[in-house]
Amino acid sequence: MILLECKELTKKYGNRTALSNINLQIESGHIIGLLGPNGSGKTTLIKLINGLLEPDSGTVCINGKPVGVESKSVISYLPDHTYLNGSMRVRDIMDFFDDFYEDFDSMRAYDMLAKLQINPNHKLKTLSKGTQEKVQLILVMSRRARLYILDEPIAGVDPAARDYILGTILSNYEETASILISTHLISDIENILDEVIFIQNGMLRTHASVDDLRQKEHKSIDTIFREVFKC
Amino acid sequence: MLRKLLKYEWKSVSKILFPLNLGIIVLTVIGCAILTTNIFDTKEALPVALLLVIFYTLSIMSFSGITLVYIYVHFYKNLFTAEGYLWHTLPVARTQLFHSKLLTGCFWCCLNTLFTMLSTAALGFAAGLHAAQKDMDALQRLLMDGSLPTTADSAMAGFSFTDIFGYSPVIFVILLLLTMLTSCISSVLMGYLSILLGQLMEKYRLAASVGFYIGIYLITQTFSSLAMITPNIRLLLDSGNESSSYFLSSFFCTMFPAAIISQLILILIFYFASLFLIRRNINLE
């Protein structure tokens, strides 16, 4: 079943084209790596899917419907930066998610907080940057969403935290759901990916199964990436 | 969903605006307490009284200014900075987001204006009460119809409230409140519209919003002034031939309807323009 479909998607920032005629289909039950160098258009694509940007032309459909209230209720999105109000307590943020998202599992969220020894009574701004990122990930992964979109979830954290984050992602997503992960750290996530999407200069370069690509090229995805995007 | 949005909006905004408005009440109570004593009866106390009046006026103006600016900043920060990634990905319509912020913003702005008016009235009443304590007839008039004591040589001596202001005290207060409330709503909307217009720019969106605000402010002020002055041109030209009370009552009789109607027109323009922009154009940086 097609979960996400982009047709002829184009986005410009002034005279600069950030995305050009992107045609893309993502089916349920896959983990997809969205890979590309800096400025290739990964975050722009993610923001368009989440309704944070308006396309100049083309369409984005989630479950066959355009971006809107319904699509937002099935997408769980983790931006590449802190987006929560720092003056809120962790508990208040949990309540906030519980109020707005029907698929939010607060038991699961509190369980993860306890495992990480994060006090829910602490204000977000009193936590370290790494802990804040973990709280955001817990919130996003505690939803029983259809599509998880994670923008650079492991960037800027230590290797131990990376393992925890990847473990959290794998152990919490619904098997019928899909995960779209944007990252530069390919070697860290290569083993969990089913598909990869390579984006370069705002254009879709490759969209293929990880196994097919490895078999065809006889190389790891990390090596293929380095060759494709060699400076 | 709008109810949930309003709940969180209320919690978030109240943290700042509740103490701020409490400040007006505290200031008023202190002011009234001072005014009912005899400490300003001597000539030597005049500079201190003057300083206190300046302090009070500046404080009240600051509270109003901070309230309005905070409402604008809150709208901008929530919807167009990093926090926008949270609010715009909630499963709610953009118009609901806008309405939740508009209702909360207007409520606090109107409450602040109401408190400011009540504070000024309370201080005026306390000062009048203190002055009238020495004159029992004046005190009676003050308590019965709110007339402040006037001196015998005053230009307004012998005229009733209706003669001077053109309306009975109750109607005057209702019209004054309506003018203030429509002005509050239009001010909040003007800020929101400026922020939304600023978002149309590729770069320097915040600076563009400030620019739009100044531009819209100048245009609306010109428009409002014309709306209020035009019906009074003949009155202004004939002001030398008419009594002061006739001039004032005629002025208020045309000023209030003109002000309320012009503010209502602005509210409609700002509201529908904002709604159009928030529906059509969201491009977070």
Say yes or no: B84 contacts chain A, CB-CB below 8 A. Answer: yes
Q: Which two tokens stand for residue B163?
A: 């003669």
Rounded to the nearest angstrom, the minimum Cα separation between A226 and chain B is: 29
What chain B residue is nearest to A95 in terms of C-alpha separation? B8
What does the pLDDT look like over A28-60, one tens digit per residue?
888 999 988 888 889 999 999 999 999 999 999
Best CA proximity match to A130, nearest among A168, A160, A169: A160
Give the integer Cα–Cα distance in Å for A5 and A65. 9
Least confident window among A180-194, B32-46, B173-187, B214-228: B32-46
Rounded to the nearest angstrom, the minimum Cα separation between A212 and chain B is: 34
Residue B152: what pLDDT?
A: 47
> Which of A47, A67, A123 to substitute to test the interface with B, most B CBs within 10 Å?
A47
B138 and B196 fall within a common domain = no
Give the integer Cα–Cα distance in Å for B211 and B209. 5
Question: What range defines the domain where residue B89 resides?
Answer: 1-149
Query: Is the model's pLDDT at A157 over the cut of 60?
Result: yes
Give the integer Cα–Cα distance in Å for A217 and A223. 10
What does the pLDDT look like over A90-105, one tens digit per residue?
999 999 999 999 999 9
B101 and B188 fall within a common domain = no
Pick the CATH number of A2-228 from 3.40.50.2000, 3.40.50.300, 3.40.30.10, 2.60.120.10: 3.40.50.300
B142 and B161 fall within a common domain = no
| Lookup result for tokens 């707005």 | A100
Say yes or no: A54 contacts chain B, CB-CB below 8 A. Answer: yes
Q: Which of B112, B132, B149 is the last residue of a domain?
A: B149
Say yes or no: B202 contacts chain A, CB-CB below 8 A. Answer: yes
B128, B214 Cβ separation under 8 angstroms: no
ipTM above 0.85, yes or no: yes
B261 and B166 fall within a common domain = yes
B133 and B226 fall within a common domain = no
Give the integer Cα–Cα distance in Å for A113 and A133. 12
Best CA proximity match to B100, nearest among B186, B2, B30: B2
Q: pTM for the full model?
A: 0.85
Backbone φ/ψ region at A78: left (φ over 0), alpha (ψ -120 to 50), beta: beta
Q: Which of B149, B176, B201 is the last residue of a domain?
A: B149
B283, A53 Cβ separation under 8 angstroms: yes
B140 and B261 fall within a common domain = no
B185, B110 Cβ separation under 8 angstroms: yes
Listed in sequence order, the DSSP H helices in B133-243 are 136-145, 161-165, 169-198, 205-229, 233-237
Q: Which two tokens stand for residue B238?
A: 């004939």
B168 and B141 fall within a common domain = no
What does the pLDDT look like over B203-251, one tens digit per residue?
899 999 999 999 999 999 888 788 777 777 766 666 666 666 666 777 7
Say yes or no: A15 contacts chain B, CB-CB below 8 A. Answer: no
| Lookup result for tokens 């008023």 | B28
A218: pLDDT confidence band, cut at 50, 70 and 90? Answer: confident
**A153: helix, coil or strand?**
coil
Query: Is the model's pLDDT at B158 over the cut of 70?
Result: no
Q: Which of B102, B125, B149 is the last residue of a domain?
A: B149
Mean pLDDT, chain A, rounded, equals 87
Q: What does the pLDDT average to over B92-109?
A: 94
Number of domains in chain B: 2
A209, A195 Cβ separation under 8 angstroms: yes
Query: Is the model's pLDDT at B100 over the cut of 60?
Result: yes
